[in-house]
Structure 1
Amino acid sequence: MKFRPTLCDCAGFFKCSEDTISRIIQKEESLTFWDFRERYFGSSRMQLRQKAFQMAMSGDRTMMIFMLKNFCGMKDNPDFDLEPQQCEVEFIDD
């Protein structure tokens, strides 16, 4: 499940029907194929995140931009206005 295969991919790999794959997973794990795949794909997702972070921290500019946009919420066109704005300041004497 490391590479998140489809049910069709698994059936082709094991040379059996999709129903056979689904039936065995349901019998052995009490899960649907999709739930089974999600449960066992989690470690691969974490490894990919760690690798992306390592690449960014090693100076890979493309990966750094990707991480900033996807993990830090940054974007190319920020929503803030660059025009100076008037603000009122109230001074209070103590």
Structure 2
Amino acid sequence: HNVEYGFGAHEHATTGIFEVEPKRCPGFTFRKSILIGKTDLGPKEVRSFMEKLAEAYSGNTYHLITKNCNHFCNDVCNRLTGKPIPRWVNRLARL
């Protein structure tokens, strides 16, 4: 759908979910794409899904170990495709 979603920290009780151009998230260097699966949702449905998910991912709930961007990606992948992200992606949070 030509949109990439992420989750980041800030000190407000508003969503920490944001949209960026794929592979161009400011402050990060793109490494690789990993195909998890596909969704039957169209672009408008995915955006609506993200808007509903926004309440669960406010910026002031971000935590490097227990609720980070990889936890967000895993949640989204599970809900949209029924499949999790690879375990190695979030391994530092489990150390």
TM-score above 0.5, yes or no = no
**What TM-score, normalized by structure 1, do the two folds share?**
0.23
Q: TM-score, normalised by structure 2?
A: 0.23
Q: Which structure has greater helix proportion?
A: 1
| Larger gyration radius, structure 1 or structure 2 | 1
Question: Of the two structures, which has the highest relative contact order with CA contacts closer than 8 Å and spacing of 6 or more?
Answer: 2
